[in-house]
Amino acid sequence: MRQESRLLRWIWWIVVVTALFLLGFTIGWFAKPSHTSTESHKASNEYLKEFLDEMQTDQIRDHLRKFTRLPHLAGTEQNLKYAEQIQKEWQEFGLDSVEMVPYDVLLSYPNKSQPNYISIVDQLGNEVFNTSLAEPVPQGYEDISNIVPPYSAFSAKGQPEGDLVYVNYGRTEDFFQLEREMGINVTGKIVIVRYGKIFRGNKVKNAMLAGAQGIIMFSDPADYWAAGVQPYPDGWNLPGGGAQRGNVLNLNGAGDPLTPGYPAKEYTYRFSLEEGVGLPKIPVHPIGFDDAIHLLKNMGGQTSPNNWKGALNISYKIGPGFTDDFKTQKVRMNIQTNNQVTRIYNVIGRIRGAVEPDRYVILGGHRDAWVFGGIDPMSGAAVVHETVRSAGTLLRKGWRPRRTIIFASWDAEEFGLLGSTEWAEDNAKLLQERAVAYINADSAIEGMYTLRVDCTPSLHTLVYDLTKQIASPEAGEERVSLYDSWHKRDNWTNERDAPRISKLGSGSDFEAYFIRLGIAAGRARYTKNKKTERYSSYPVYHSVYETFEIVDGFYDPSFKRLRAVAQVRGGLIFLLADSQLLPLDADEYAHSLRKYAQSIAGLAQNHPEQMELYKVSFDSLFSAVQNFTVAARDFHERLQTLNREDPLQVRMVNDQLMYLERAFIDPLGLPDRRFYRHVIFAPSSHNKYAGESFPGIYDALFDIENSPDPEDAWKEVKKHISIAAFTVHAAAMTLTPPA
């Protein structure tokens, strides 16, 4: 009995011990997280709110004030000083590393001892009128030296003399009209065109192709004057003495003209100036409308069609040359601008990713300005600065993004996107393999109306989601989201009931990242009301009147608009860097591809007989788009059942999302534009600022009715339909299960 009881007690003991052990084991087993490297979403979302809330209007104002006191043209000492200051402050804000990255690129400056100007000369060669050598300096800046006068960077040197011909905006269609309808040949003439509508470099190219020996560009009040607004400093309109600086290159994505394809380092082989990419062969010069009146008022020849007439009180005659009374007078350009290899500096800051340090999300914008850069680019640079400050604050609180974030302050954007392109060339291999997205940060404001976003289709959804979490900056909209405020003002009506998002063109630093390397990209800024404000960019664009005061006094006195832009740009970077699954949407890409395919096929359908004759069909493209649509849908469906606990599973689908944009790159490039390699998007051949979808097909179709050999021309169309169809098929493949 006693033995039995002892036995029972032992058995009972063993059972209890075992049970307890098992209980502990089981709890221990399940208590341990089964993955080592997936972060908590909740924490990430809380940090997003903190990140956005940390951005402050007075901070942005301070940044803008600080970096607009002095002119800081690319290649000048002051622009290096600002770079050093940015480097120092980013370090203080708490970035893991901030480095200065120099390149030696071709820049272009006026000759200080021989200023550029344009004259009217009489038959004896006497200068009876000269354009002004500089803009009247705005008040408060009278003692500032080193303000570069208005000039066309990379203009050829020379003193061409001849009759003027007025060619409206200098667009392809303007030259077509001039030559085909008005029967005017500009060979040996000097053309004068108004600024606006297209990139000035395209105007210069058109003038060269037409045979002109020089080109003058002026700002017409029709294009740079808002109704009811005073000229600066009493308002934000362009004074009559103001003129638009700017480069007149046709780089087509090459970056530094002397080192296309490779970074402009000390050891890099350089082309001679004659071999340089995109350098104009004729003199070019910009003037304001006060000067333009003098050149235009006595012009003879035909009268302009109405849509060629600007807002000056003159008759806008076409020429060539002056009316009979002034027949003996000619126009002479005096251009002494020099090209010069010059050192520039990018500032590159980094936050190392906690989980995937080898995945990069980039926020980049330029620092160099034509003069003070009050709007372009410092309104954008101030926003980047505040984003870095806010990220630094979070880092100190223990946050660290899943992926690496790279902040860039680019140099020499104004000279052809040089700093950003050289860095892209320098890091092409790393970026190709590791870059998730590039968000651009040029001017943050160009109007006072609402948000403007241009981005790749896969970012549409993220932009909408994010702007719903940001407040409207507009007075009286305290409880309205930025999304709703934007939606109300710019509904994408013919596409969907949502705010309009546009295609990326070019003209800013995202170009090499998006168009050459195929990295998902986007940009955001505050803009004007396009329906009512018909001027190009903004009136004081690239003039000396782009000051701190024009932003502080007119564009954004509360700095809430700039803060909203900071929150959009910063929020995009945050979510791209910190979301476990990349917030990229392949379905949206499919939707856009279909839209673009319909649009380009519609364009071809303007020539139904020729399409039939030369057997041109878009079937292969539509079939590829359908294939892509199904692949995208299936991909997002599979995401629903993804095991998010498995870090490799997550990495694999993220890689598919990251490489989706890359899949649209054709290594062979577009015809004659080898650095434009995106088959879906390229800057328009006729206006660099505008984005063209299916650019290969578009260019082949352009002006096809005037082709000397229609069969060959349609062959080119067919070739590009084939390339587009293949590329879309290949992109679809990248979305299917990898094995």
Q: Which is nearer to its own copies, 502 or 722 (CB)?
A: 722
The answer to whether residue 413 is catalytic is: yes
CB of 538 to its own copies, least distance (A): 37
| Contact pick of 58, 667, 708, 709 for its own copies (by CB under 8 A) | 667
Q: Which is nearer to its own copies, 599 or 623 (CB)?
A: 623
CB of 677 to its own copies, least distance (A): 8
| Contact pick of 3, 5, 36, 126 for its own copies (by CB under 8 A) | 36
At CA 85, angle to CA 82 and CA 86, rounded to 5? 85
What Cα–Cα distance (Å) separates residue 84 from each residue in 81, 101, 144, 344, 460? 5, 11, 21, 12, 36
Give the tokens for residue 82.
């600002």
Rounded Cα–Cα distance for residues 661 and 510 (Å): 14
CB of 515 to its own copies, least distance (A): 13
Q: Which is nearer to its own copies, 459 or 665 (CB)?
A: 665
- Binding flag, residue 22, its own copies (CB under 8 A): yes
- Binding flag, residue 141, its own copies (CB under 8 A): no
Q: Which residues share a beta bridge with 392?
A: none
DSSP E strands: which ranges in 374-477?
403-410, 435-440, 450-455
Give the tokens for residue 59.
């901070």
Stretch that binds its own copies, among 31-39, 383-391, 439-447, 459-467 (CB under 8 A): 31-39
Q: Which of 279, 325, 327, 321 lies closest to 302, judged by CA?
A: 321
| Contact pick of 363, 565, 725, 728 for its own copies (by CB under 8 A) | 725
Rounded Cα–Cα distance for residues 462 and 466 (Å): 6
Q: Which is nearer to its own copies, 23 or 209 (CB)?
A: 23
| Contact pick of 2, 3, 5, 31 for its own copies (by CB under 8 A) | 31
Sheet with 190-194, strands from edge to edge, namely 164-166, 190-194, 214-218, 284-287
DSSP E strands: which ranges in 580-628?
none
Q: Which is nearer to its own copies, 129 or 262 (CB)?
A: 262
CB of 434 to its own copies, least distance (A): 7
How many Cβ atoms are within 10 Å of 355's Cβ, its own excluded?
18
Report yes or no: 544 and 371 within 8 Å, Cβ to Cβ: yes
Q: Which residues share a beta bridge with 526?
A: 445, 451
Angle, helices 378-396 vs 41-54, to 10°: value is 130
What is the DSSP code (8-state) at residue 703? T
Stretch that binds its own copies, among 41-49, 242-250, 575-583, 639-647 (CB under 8 A): 639-647
Give the H/E segment covering residue 214: strand 214-218
- Binding flag, residue 25, its own copies (CB under 8 A): yes
Catalytic residue among 655, 666, 707, 722: 655
Q: Which is nearer to its own copies, 31 or 124 (CB)?
A: 31
How many Cβ atoms are within 10 Å of 154's Cβ, its own excluded?
26
The answer to whether residue 655 is catalytic is: yes
| Single-letter amino acid code for the residue at 526 | Y
| Contact pick of 1, 5, 29, 313 for its own copies (by CB under 8 A) | 29
| Contact pick of 308, 326, 659, 689 for its own copies (by CB under 8 A) | 659
CB of 722 to its own copies, least distance (A): 4
Q: Which is nearer to its own copies, 10 or 176 (CB)?
A: 10
| Contact pick of 357, 553, 671, 710 for its own copies (by CB under 8 A) | 357
- Binding flag, residue 127, its own copies (CB under 8 A): no
| Contact pick of 620, 622, 638, 704 for its own copies (by CB under 8 A) | 620
Catalytic residue among 385, 607, 678, 729: 678
Q: Which is nearer to its own copies, 498 or 730 (CB)?
A: 730
Q: Which of 334, 330, 335, 302 lies closest to 316, judged by CA?
A: 302
> Which residues between 83 and 112 bind its own copies (CB under 8 A)?
96
CB of 413 to its own copies, least distance (A): 23
Torsion angle (degrees, nearest 10) of CA 247, 251, 255, 258: -90
Report yes or no: 256 and 162 within 8 Å, Cβ to Cβ: no
> Which residues between 451 and 480 bind its own copies (CB under 8 A)?
none
| Contact pick of 125, 140, 557, 737 for its own copies (by CB under 8 A) | 737
Stretch that binds its own copies, among 257-265, 295-303, 415-423, 583-591 (CB under 8 A): 257-265
Rounded Cα–Cα distance for residues 643 and 155 (Å): 59
- Binding flag, residue 267, its own copies (CB under 8 A): yes
What Cα–Cα distance (Å) separates residue 295 from each residue in 168, 213, 217, 314? 14, 17, 11, 11
Report yes or no: 470 and 52 within 8 Å, Cβ to Cβ: yes
- Binding flag, residue 23, its own copies (CB under 8 A): yes
What Cα–Cα distance (Å) separates residue 199 from each residue in 167, 365, 515, 716? 15, 19, 17, 26
Give the tokens for residue 686.
């006729």
- Binding flag, residue 668, its own copies (CB under 8 A): yes
| Contact pick of 87, 250, 427, 693 for its own copies (by CB under 8 A) | 427
- Between strands 284-287 and 330-334, the pairing is unpaired
Report yes or no: 732 and 631 within 8 Å, Cβ to Cβ: yes
Q: Which of 254, 258, 200 lies closest to 677, judged by CA?
A: 254
- Binding flag, residue 651, its own copies (CB under 8 A): yes
> Which residues between 209 and 238 bind its own copies (CB under 8 A)?
none
Q: Which is nearer to its own copies, 451 or 723 (CB)?
A: 723
List helix spans (H) across 304-367.
Answer: none
Stretch that binds its own copies, among 120-128, 191-199, 600-608, 718-726 (CB under 8 A): 718-726
Stretch that binds its own copies, among 112-120, 125-133, 304-312, 640-648 (CB under 8 A): 640-648
The 3-state secondary structure of 273-288, one letter per residue = CCCCCCCCCCCEEEEC
Rounded Cα–Cα distance for residues 428 and 381 (Å): 24
The answer to whether residue 684 is catalytic is: no
Catalytic residue among 104, 368, 376, 413: 413
> Which residues between 502 and 561 bind its own copies (CB under 8 A)?
none
Is residue 66 packed enough to be buried (19+ CB in 10 Å), middle (13-18) or exposed (0-12)? Answer: middle
- Binding flag, residue 350, its own copies (CB under 8 A): yes
- Between strands 152-153 and 246-247, the pairing is parallel
Q: Which is nearer to its own copies, 566 or 653 (CB)?
A: 653
CB of 96 to its own copies, least distance (A): 8
Rounded Cα–Cα distance for residues 363 and 369 (Å): 19
Binding mask 310-349 for its own copies (x = CB under 8 A): ----------------------------------------
> Which residues between 676 and 705 bind its own copies (CB under 8 A)?
677
- Binding flag, residue 581, its own copies (CB under 8 A): no
Stretch that binds its own copies, among 561-569, 595-603, 690-698, 715-723 (CB under 8 A): 715-723
The answer to whether residue 558 is catalytic is: no
Q: Which is nearer to its own copies, 194 or 403 (CB)?
A: 403
Give the H/E segment covering residue 176: helix 172-176
| Contact pick of 49, 265, 327, 530 for its own copies (by CB under 8 A) | 265
- Binding flag, residue 638, its own copies (CB under 8 A): no
- Binding flag, residue 709, its own copies (CB under 8 A): no
Give the tokens for residue 642.
């993804």
- Binding flag, residue 268, its own copies (CB under 8 A): yes
Report yes or no: 519 and 662 within 8 Å, Cβ to Cβ: yes
Binding mask 272-311 for its own copies (x = CB under 8 A): ----------------------------------------
| Contact pick of 343, 434, 489, 636 for its own copies (by CB under 8 A) | 434
Helices (H) and strands (E) in the chain, counts: 22, 19
Question: Annotated catalytic sites, by residue?
Answer: 413, 617, 655, 678
